[in-house]
Amino acid sequence: MDIFFSYLMNNGVPRETIDILLMFPIMAGFIVAARQIVGFKAFGIYTPLIITFALTEIGFKYGVSIFIVSLVVASIVRYLLRKIRILYLPKMALILSITALSMFLSLVWGIFSDSTVFVQASIYQILIIITLVEKFINAQMEKGYRTAVVLSIETLILASLGNLIMTTTQLRDLVFYNPWIILIVFAGIIFLGRYEGLRISEYIRFRKIISNQ
């Protein structure tokens, strides 16, 4: 694998790209474990995964700020549009567009705080975080505002822990030089797929019933 990776890098493939591809199964396994063992729900698997990589690219502090601002702006816009009778897709287009435009304020904040990392961050990473807005609004409509907030917080917690894992240089180097570790991760995911026991959150939720038995 060293020869293969060297070939890729010698032909212009950044080491960062290789690291992200190798870490993707690791992060997926982490999120599966958090859902199956701990009991996190969040917004599926893909959303925490993609936000993890966005936080890694933008920086944790500014990434979380964009995350929170996006949800707050989207909630305000949805509230203001509640009396306008238009179809779901046009309304969602307005919410997403206004939320995206609100990022100009975040860019101004980045300039005043002298954060060149954030100001020069890829706009695609910022837009990736904004895409969470649609899931947040859908959760509001289907399950209520409180559930949507809980799912958002769980997603942010998973993405934050994932960012901590992603920024651990020793782990990235370990996987880079020992890519066979991914096979162990696959085996772990299969094991978790067959896990039928109670989750930690369920033990906490039903602790009185369990203690009585």
Burial track 107-121 (b if 16+ CB lie within 10 A, e otherwise): eeebeeeebeebeeb
Burial track 148-166 (b if 16+ CB lie within 10 A, e otherwise): beebbebbbebbbbbbeeb
**What is the pTM for the complete model shown?**
0.81
- Phi then psi for residue 207, to 5 deg, are -60, -35
Give the whole-number percent of the chain exceeding pLDDT 70. Answer: 87
pLDDT value of residue 207: 64
- Worst-scoring range by mean pLDDT, 97-106, 121-130, 188-197, 198-207? 198-207
d(C-alpha 103, C-alpha 84), whole Å? 24
Residues 11-33: tens digit of each pLDDT = 888 888 888 899 999 999 999 99
Give 123: exposed, middle or buried? Use CB within 10 Å, 0-12, 13-18, 19+. Answer: exposed
Residues 137-193: tens digit of each pLDDT = 888 888 888 888 899 999 999 999 999 998 888 999 999 988 899 999 999 999 888
How many CA atoms does the CB half-sphere of 88 hold within 13 Å? 4
Domain assignments of the chain as residue spans, ordered by start: 2-212
The mean pLDDT value of the chain amounts to 83
Which residues 6+ apart lie within 8 Å of 23 measured at CB? Answer: 165, 166, 171, 172, 175
Residues 33-69: tens digit of each pLDDT = 988 888 888 888 888 888 898 888 887 877 888 888 8
